[in-house]
Amino acid sequence: MSVIHVRNLTHEYGKHVALRDVSFDIEAGSVYALLGPNGSGKTTLLQILMGLLPQTSGQVNVLNTSASALTAAHRARMGYVAEGVRLPSSMTLAQLEKYVAPLYPTWDNTLANALRDRFQLDPSRRIRTLSRGEHMKAAMLCALAPRPELLIMDEPFTGMDAVVKDDLVRGVLEMSGREGWTVVIASHDLAELELLADWVGFLHNGRLQLHEPMESVRSRYRWLEVITSSREAELPRVKPADWVWSESAGPRVRVLLAEPDEELLRRRADEWFPDAQRVELHDASLRDVFVALTRQGHAGRGAASALEKTATVQSQTTRAGAV
């Protein structure tokens, strides 16, 4: 069951196209990491999903309802945390909780108390006296205490120290797994996302260049490192579709490839670098993939290949589910 269903979504700000023909689904219970460089359209997409911004064209359904028609009852099933969100500055945290709780039939005081203790927040302090990190923690408390079916987070870790960040990630993992929450999170904290998410999407220039399970990303992307006998290593003139990014310095070459078959990669290394003296393969992290795609400027043939393979995986999954 798709909690979020997006087809051919386009959004324009005047002459600027923020999102271009974006299509994807997010299934119930998924934790979805939305990646992309600054200005790629992530915040615009999340605001459209929340019904805070109307799309220019396309179809966007959230909780089986058009995002533009979300009601108070729908919003009571959703949580939203965004960097820079404004909370009533004159209220104390206790007053804020008392104000927000009646809006959510599922508000859990026990969970709110536990989150307040975990974040070390003083309920008697006024919102305007909180630091940037404490302000984000207060917003997070108000979003998590209702135990939302759908939780959307835009850069939620801003201002949090490593210990609290790790504690939060583990808490969201535990609660989302136990209660079947669907979580969509955009963040530059890639190490946390790699631990948290089971699906990943990559936006660049408003286009969704990659959309696939995190396990597929982990298993498919590999670093090929080669040391040649030449003073300056020569790269092949024609690069294959799964060649995502490369960098070289003197006789050393490092190539990020979207290919899980290590034996095939070693054969290719012999073809590409006949004067290779040493060939090594290493797993790529989510950060490696993100940085490579961003540096590339556009996903190009490598991402196209990734999307084709993802479509195959999704098709096979769908057929298996039907059986």
CA torsion 192-193-194-198 (nearest 10°) is 140
Give yes or no for residue 315 having a pLDDT over 70.
Answer: no
Whether 71 and 191 map to the same domain: the answer is yes
Alpha helices in the chain (DSSP H): 42-49, 72-75, 93-100, 109-119, 132-144, 162-179, 190-196, 214-220, 262-272, 286-296, 300-322
Averaged pLDDT of the chain = 86
Of 92, 90, 10, residue with least CA distance to 53: 10
Tell whether 92 is covered by a domain: yes
Does residue 211 belong to any structural domain of this protein?
no
- Between 159 and 275, the more confident residue is 275
d(CA 5, CA 315): 17
Is 210 a member of any domain?
Answer: no
Longest CA–CA span in the chain (Å) reads: 71
Q: Residue 302's pLDDT is what?
A: 43
Task: State whether 138 and 229 are in the same domain.
Answer: no
CATH number of the domain to which 291 belongs: 3.30.70
Higher pLDDT, 168 or 3: 3
pLDDT confidence of 84, banded at 50, 70, 90?
Answer: confident
Domain match, 259 and 120 both = no
Question: How is residue 1 annotated by DSSP?
Answer: -
Q: How far apart are CA 29 and CA 265, in angstroms?
A: 35
One domain, residues 273 and 309 = yes
For the residues 217-222, what does the mean pLDDT come to? 88
Instruction: Note whether residue 51 is domain-resident.
Output: yes
> pLDDT-derived band of residue 297, with 50, 70 and 90 as boundaries?
low
Q: CA 250, CA 60: separation in Å to the nearest integer?
A: 50
Residue 214 lies in a domain: no
Do 44 and 188 share a domain, yes or no? yes
**DSSP code per residue over 166-235:** HHHHHHHHHHHHHHT-EEEEE-S-HHHHHHH-SEEEEEETTEEEEEEEHHHHHHHEEEEEEEESSSSPPP
Is residue 31 situated within a structural domain? yes
Percent of the chain with pLDDT over 70: 91
Separation CA 100–CA 129 (nearest Å): 19
Q: Is residue 215 part of a domain?
A: no
Q: Are 111 and 231 within one domain?
A: no
Across 17-27, average pLDDT: 96
Phi then psi for residue 232, to 5 deg, are -130, 115
Query: Whose structure tokens read 């979300």?
Result: 70
Q: Say how many domains are in the chain.
A: 2
| pTM, to two decimals | 0.82
* Domain containing residue 229: 220-322
Average pLDDT of span 188-204 = 86
- 130-187 residue pLDDT tens: 988 888 889 989 999 999 999 999 988 777 778 777 777 777 777 777 778 899 999 8
Judge if 22 and 152 occupy the same domain: yes
Q: Is there a single domain that holds both residue 86 and residue 193?
A: yes
pLDDT at 239: 85
Q: Are 240 and 178 in the same domain? A: no
Shared domain check, 185 and 233: no
Among 151, 179, 205, which residue terminates a domain?
205
Q: What is the pLDDT of residues 249-273, one digit of tens each?
A: 999 999 999 888 889 999 989 999 9
pLDDT of residue 158: 74
pLDDT at 298: 45
Q: Which of 33-37, 245-249, 290-294 has the lowest mean pLDDT?
A: 290-294
The tokens describing 178, both together, are 């136990």
Residues 167 and 73 in one domain: yes
Q: Answer yes or no: do 148 and 286 share one domain.
A: no
CATH code of residue 106: 3.40.50.300
